[in-house]
Homo-oligomer: A and B are copies of this chain.
Amino acid sequence: MLDPAVVLFANDAFYLAFNARDFEAMDNLWARETPAVCVHPGWNPLLDRDEIMESWRAIFSNGDSQPGIRFHGGTVVQQGGNYSVIGYEELSGAWLVVTNCFAVEDGAPRMFHHQASHCAEPPQLGPEAPASVQ
Contact = CB atoms under 8 A, between A and B. Distances in A.
A41 B118 contact: yes
Contact of A99 (B80, B82, B115, B123): B115
A59 interface: no
A134 B47 contact: yes
Interface residues of A, number: 34
Interface in A73-126: 75, 77-82, 84, 86, 97, 99, 101, 103, 112-113, 115-121, 123
Interface of A: 34-35, 37, 39, 41-45, 47, 75, 77-82, 84, 86, 97, 99, 101, 103, 112-113, 115-121, 123, 134
25 contacts: A35-B78, A35-B79, A35-B134, A37-B77, A37-B84, A37-B86, A39-B97, A41-B117, A41-B118, A42-B120, A43-B119, A43-B120, A43-B121, A44-B123, A47-B75, A47-B86, A47-B134, A79-B82, A79-B101, A80-B81, A80-B82, A97-B115, A116-B117, A117-B118, A118-B118
